[in-house]
Structure 1
Amino acid sequence: MSILAKNLKAIRKELGCTQSVMSEILKVGFRTFVRYEAGARDAPVSVLVKIARLGNISLEQLLTSEVGKNDVAPLQKLNKSVSSTEVGAINFKEGSVVFNNPFREEIITLNDDERKILTLFRKMGPHMQKECLANLGQIAELVNTADSKKDKVSKDQISKNDTEPGFEKSSQASQHQPKAKRRPGRKKLDKKALQEKIDKLKMLTRSINKTTVK
């Protein structure tokens, strides 16, 4: 069985639909859908797009990787008595869209991780969702508190250095003063000792008698 056939079966089961219902949703024949799910027939692109939207996954994920239970978002009941949805406001800077009288509330996710988190949250019960939101709020508060403390410490350190006498002058002098380049691993030579060594070698060479080889 191909990956597409496995994913189609997994999406159908997760949505709680029969093969007959899925064939009606996709507007294909019952036997045709059965062949899609069995991998005996290739589905056209238009049907693949519908299947991906039903599973709340990308078309690439539908065709190339196996879909798990946590990847498929559960179905939600729609209120058909509500009037058609209209766009109320669009903020391109924040990437948000506000609808007037929407059929249902949805969050447009930016990546697969956000989509998976939203899918898992929707599968939780009301009590579990409440606890999850409370825990996330505590985590966000702790992170913000730690960041604010870190910023405060760095600002206090900067202000302390600025108020110390002579700090500004010394820092400016150190900035303008060029640093002497030294080769790594090389010790600083004592000029006086080096000169004494050179003089001794000169005296030694003068005392040696010249010899010739016959």
Structure 2
Amino acid sequence: MLEPDCMTMADPKPLLRAEMKRRRAQLAAANPLAGEQLAGRAEDTFEAWPPQGAVIAGYWPIQSEINPFPLMQMFEDRGFSLALPALVPVDGGYRMIFRIFRIGDELVDGPYDIRQPSDDAQTVDPDLLLMPLLAFDAAGIRLGYGGGYYDRALADLRSRGNVAAWGVAFSGQQLAETPSEAHDQPLDGIFTETGVIATHA
């Protein structure tokens, strides 16, 4: 469990993000099969299964993010529906929504060169949201890239219903404590290549 030096700064997030990007890249290079290992651990030990017919929202991995597709395939094989995030223009910026997706579907290039379902895909509210991250802690606090898209989307989903939010990460991304602000949405747990972590959220 890491305790970066930048955590002692007044605003540690910018330097912490850079440090954790480097750390995650090292973890990804050292274990290219982490996504498959993570899915196997989840199938053996995950207990918070959503009801049949639930929608599981994954993500398209970028940079050194752990690959969630083996985990998504496991959910699809068990009869769950899948979705992916899509960023849509709103008020000069973007808002994250979720669209139905099946493994193998054609995707389009979205903002930031992230692949996403096309505009004609059905929009849905997921029941379980899989979220990429740079760092996390035992309280379920997640460090993202700083854009706030996931936090705003999750806050909106939670205001309208019961949605579970789980991070997808290397176990080496865990910190003793992750800096947080009032708008940060806590996670219900983390899927890692070494096991499933239920947080204190």
Q: TM-score, normalised by structure 2?
A: 0.19
Higher strand share: 2
Higher relative contact order (CA 8 A, sep 6+): 2
| TM-score, reference length from structure 1 | 0.18
Name the larger-Rg structure: 1
